[in-house]
Amino acid sequence: MPVEFTERSLLKYTQKVIELFRNPKNIGEMENPTVTTVEGDPQCGDMFKMYLKIEGDKITDAKFLSFGCAANIATGSMTTEMIKGKTVDDAGKISIKEIADGLGGLPGLKMHCAVLAYKTLKKAIQEYKQGKSGGDQTSSKGS
C-alpha cells in the first residue's frame, strides 16, 4: 500500500469536524471576558486562546481563537458549545473523550489538537478559581 494513501487514511476527518471547520461556532474575541487563557502545543507549535464569561459560577459565554489546524478549530467549537450554560465545576468535569466523541472521533494523529483545547479550558477554570479564592491573579485574567 502506498505511503501517501496510508497517511491520507490516518487524517480522515468526520463530517462533524469538517462542518465545524467550515462553519466554526464561538470563534472570535470576546469583550470583557471573566477569564482569558492561552495555551500552546509544544508538539506542533500552535496556540489556542479561550475566553470565558462567568456569571454566578455559570459559564454564560465562551469563545476562542485558534492558531491551529482544522481539527483544533473544530475542537474549539465543540468545547465551547459543550461548556456554555454549565457551571464552572461541571465544565471542569468534561473529558477529552467527551469532546472527541462529540466530533464523532478524531484521527489519532490529531488527538493532540483536541487536547490543546481541553488543556486551555482546564487552565481557564483553574485561573478563575485561583482568582476567586484570592490566589495568584495572572496577567491572563480579564477585566
33, three cell numbers = 471576558
The answer to whether 113 is a known catalytic residue is yes
The answer to whether 69 is a known catalytic residue is no
| DSSP for residue 89 | H
End-to-end Cα spacing for the chain: 55
Mark the segment that binds ligand FES (CB under 6 A) among 11-19, 67-75, 100-108, 132-140: 67-75
Residue of 11, 27, 38, 44 marked catalytic: 44
> Which residue from 27, 38, 69, 111 is in contact with ligand FES, where contact means CB under 6 A?
69
Determine the Cα–Cα distance for residues 88 and 129; give it in Å rounded to an integer: 9
Closest among 85, 87, 72 to 118, alpha carbons compared: 72
Which residues have C-beta within 8 Å of that of residue 75, sequence separation ≥ 6?
99, 100, 103, 106, 113, 114, 116, 117, 118
Type of residue at 117? A
Residue facing ligand FES at closest CB distance: 68
Closest separation in Å from C-beta 71 to ligand FES: 5
Residues of span 82-141 touching ligand FES by CB under 6 A: 113, 116
Residues in contact with ligand FES, counted by CB under 6 A, come to a total of 9
The reply on whether position 46 binds ligand FES by CB under 6 A is yes
Positions in the binding site for ligand FES (CB under 6 A): 41, 44, 46, 68-69, 71-72, 113, 116
